[in-house]
Amino acid sequence: MSSSAAPRYPLVLVPGLLGFISLLGYPYWYGIVSALRRLGARVFPVLVSSVHSSEVRGEQLLLRIGEILQQTGAEKVHLIGHSQGALTARYVAALRPEWVASVTSVAGPNHGSELADFLQRKAPHGSLRERLLAFLLRAVARCMAWLERGYTGPPLPMDVAAAQQSLTSAGVAAFNAQYPQGLPESWGGEGAAEVAGVRYYSWSGTLQAGITDKDGNRFDGPNVACRLFARTFRREAGQCDGMVGRYSSHLGTVIGDSYPLDHFDIVNQTFGLVGKGADPVRLFVEHAQRLQAAGL
């Protein structure tokens, strides 16, 4: 059983594109799983295909949740998805709401990623650039699968084109038409707090000059990458975390959408190196307390 200070239902953490559980002992949810466990929560960082559509990843997540429910005897789980993990969680909640107490989107591209749109424009289907990018992505994913130590299931399939399609604004719009649960009705608004018995929440960050590029992030390569990626944004120029726009991340109750965190900081990467005054782990702990206070 979980302690009385912890959420009643297990927390299932779903990673994004190129996600992992533990690479040679190095965790995706850096310092987050341990902080949640200190609270007394039952926490399951899971793996789904690191490169694939949100629907295929969602089907894999459904199987994994079935196992977790059986293992724990819990009636439901909380799903917390980072980046594409949020879309993966939303798919599951749409199909099996009775299994899901809440879906929380952490920097989820719930209306698509303008970075994915940019890549699609610059490396269109059938182009040499597209083939090169796909080759690199597959190579990185295979290398990560080889280093993965936290996953014991069967090999997971990979489909670069399906992953790309699942992250563009047009691709996510098609996904949203089928799985609209928790989405805001207007751009920049909040979504329903609860749909079919499932609570929906989201939080995200933005790049903030003089803050997110300071302290630990001065030595962190992914922050430099996010600052480069941010230049590809048009609709949400100056209002993104490098990979996902502030309003694009909105789902259900918006806990916050402008924390000083880039797309990797928000899961405390890398090695806890984040910008000035940032504390991404605290957001997870507070959220677990929020769920517990709601009786979930």
Chain residues in the site for Ca ion (CB under 5 A): 217, 220, 223, 265, 273
Residues 191, 250 contacting (CB under 8 angstroms): yes
**Is residue 52 annotated as part of the catalytic site, yes or no?**
no
Q: 71 by DSSP, 3-state: which? A: helix
CB of 206 to Ca ion, least distance (A): 14
Q: Which is nearer to Ca ion, 241 or 265 (CB)?
A: 265
Ordered alpha helix ranges (H), the chain: 32-38, 54-72, 84-95, 114-122, 128-147, 160-165, 169-178, 221-229, 280-293
**What number of helices (H) and strands (E) belong to the chain?**
9, 9
Record the tokens describing residue 275, joined without a space: 């910008």
CB of 205 to Ca ion, least distance (A): 11
Q: Which is nearer to Ca ion, 135 or 271 (CB)?
A: 271
Residues 172, 112 contacting (CB under 8 angstroms): yes
Q: 93 by DSSP, 3-state: which? A: helix
Q: Which is nearer to Ca ion, 62 or 225 (CB)?
A: 225
**Is residue 54 annotated as part of the catalytic site, yes or no?**
no
Residue (of 111, 97, 93) closest to 236 by Cα position: 111
CB of 222 to Ca ion, least distance (A): 6
Query: 84-95 and 54-72 are packed helices; what angle lies between their axes, rounded to 10 degrees?
Result: 70
What is the number of the residue whose Cβ is closest to Ca ion? 220
Q: d(Cα 31, Cα 96) in Å, to the nearest integer?
A: 30
Query: Catalytic pick from 52, 111, 250, 263?
Result: 263
Q: d(Cα 132, Cα 71) in Å, to the nearest integer?
A: 42
Q: Which is nearer to Ca ion, 71 or 258 (CB)?
A: 258
Query: Catalytic pick from 117, 213, 220, 241?
Result: 241
Q: Largest alpha-carbon pair distance within the chain? A: 56
Q: Which is nearer to Ca ion, 10 or 260 (CB)?
A: 260
CB of 38 to Ca ion, least distance (A): 22
Q: d(Cα 91, Cα 5) in Å, to the nearest integer?
A: 29
Q: Which is nearer to Ca ion, 26 or 151 (CB)?
A: 26
CB of 288 to Ca ion, least distance (A): 22
Query: Catalytic pick from 83, 204, 248, 249?
Result: 83
**Is residue 117 annotated as part of the catalytic site, yes or no?**
no
CB of 243 to Ca ion, least distance (A): 13
Angle, vertex CA 20, rays to CA 183 and CA 126, nearest 5: 75
- Residues designated catalytic: 83, 241, 263
